[in-house]
Amino acid sequence: MKQKAEIVPASEQDLAVLAELAEQCFPDPWSENVFRQTMCCCYNRIWCAKVDGKLCGYAAVSRTGDAVNLDDIAVSPAFRRQGIGRQLLDWAHGQFPESEFWLEVRESNAAAIALYESAGYRQGGFRKRYYHDPEEGAVLMTREVKKT
């Protein structure tokens, strides 16, 4: 069942929930302090996905020159496979329509790789031992600007 999420900028009040969500989703999650530092930098954006007022996902990006790096994206396990990850991706792409997007994803995360490929990303490289806990490589992916 698809859920329509409200996408809003993260606020100071969201920090603890963001860190809790990251802990549910990743073996090496961002801390509340990392979210706070990310939010404070003028080159970064964090958006929250909310369903019925409940924070159920987020996307964090950083802008570097003409490109945007998708630094972190997560959806609560209870809200997965409902289109929320795609809504967050589409939102981020819409905020920077003229920018190329880059990301790294765990090589074992087939669901995320499939989502990124369905959103126009292409695999462009690999970094050995990029992630820890457990150690594994990262697939590098890029989404080029769509020319009209």
Q: Which among 104, 117, 121, 130 is annotated as catalytic?
A: 104
pLDDT on residue 65: 86
pLDDT band at 48 (very low <50, low <70, confident <90, very high): very high
Structural domain boundaries, residue 49: 6-143
Catalytic annotation present for 131: no
Report the CATH number that the domain containing residue 121 is assigned in CATH.
3.40.630.30
- Is 1 a member of any domain? no
Rg (CA), the chain: 15
Over 70: is that where the pLDDT of 1 sits? Answer: no
Question: pLDDT band at residue 128, thresholds of 50, 70 and 90?
Answer: very high
The verdict on residue 148 lying in a domain is no
The total domain count for the chain is 1
- Is 34 contained in some domain? yes
Query: Where in the chain does DSSP place strands (E)?
Result: 6-9, 44-51, 54-64, 67-75, 100-106, 122-131, 136-143
Q: How confident is the model at residue 131 (pLDDT cuts 50, 70, 90)?
A: confident
Give yes or no for residue 39 having a pLDDT over 70. yes
41 falls within a domain: yes
Assess if residue 55 is contained within a domain.
yes
Q: Is 116 among the residues known to form the active site?
A: yes
Whether this prediction's pTM lies above 0.85 is answered by yes
